[in-house]
Amino acid sequence: MKSARRRSREFAVQGLYQWQLNASEPARIADDLAAAKGFEQADEAHFRELLTGAAGHAHSLRESLAPALDRPVSSLSPVEHAILLVGAYELVHHPEIPYRVVINECVELAKTFGGTDGFKYVNGVLDKLAAAGRAAEVAAARR
């Protein structure tokens, strides 16, 4: 059974995907998704924060991701882009969530929503981002 947090991340990825493709307001997308089947099993507060936070900080999150990417952000698939925004947002704005949890959750999202090997790319990018942004935590975990 999936945790409420996992479900909130799944819905946030769906919302960020919609946001990228049709430029609707994140709050409106959140309201629409909150009416979706299965949403009652999600952590609504975390979902709304992820969606509106990642969309609202997208520019700075993309800048933080850029050094870890092997191509321009504009060349990412919308699904990978959405997953990386969720991961980057949690790494930057939720230091209480262990970086390994953030990366693992995003890898699982990529396995669910992404292309065949997209999860490997997401793992590599977020691992680089964590090493840069949470150097002490990563170093401690690797000892």
Residue-range domain boundaries for the chain: 4-142
* pLDDT at residue 64, as a whole number: 95
* pLDDT at residue 139, as a whole number: 85
Global pTM reads: 0.95
| Average pLDDT of the residues of the chain | 93
Q: Which tens digit of pLDDT belongs to each residue from 53-103?
A: 999 999 999 999 999 999 999 899 999 999 999 999 999 999 999 999 999
Question: Half-sphere exposure of residue 91, counting CA atoms within 13 Å on the CB side?
Answer: 31
Question: Half-sphere exposure of residue 107, counting CA atoms within 13 Å on the CB side?
Answer: 13
Non-local (6+) Cβ contacts of 35 within 8 A are none
**Is the pLDDT reported for residue 1 higher than 80?**
no
Q: Give the residue, 115 or 120, on which the prediction is more confident.
A: 120
Task: Tell me which fold the domain 4-142 belongs to.
Answer: N-utilizing Substance Protein B Homolog; Chain A (1.10.940)
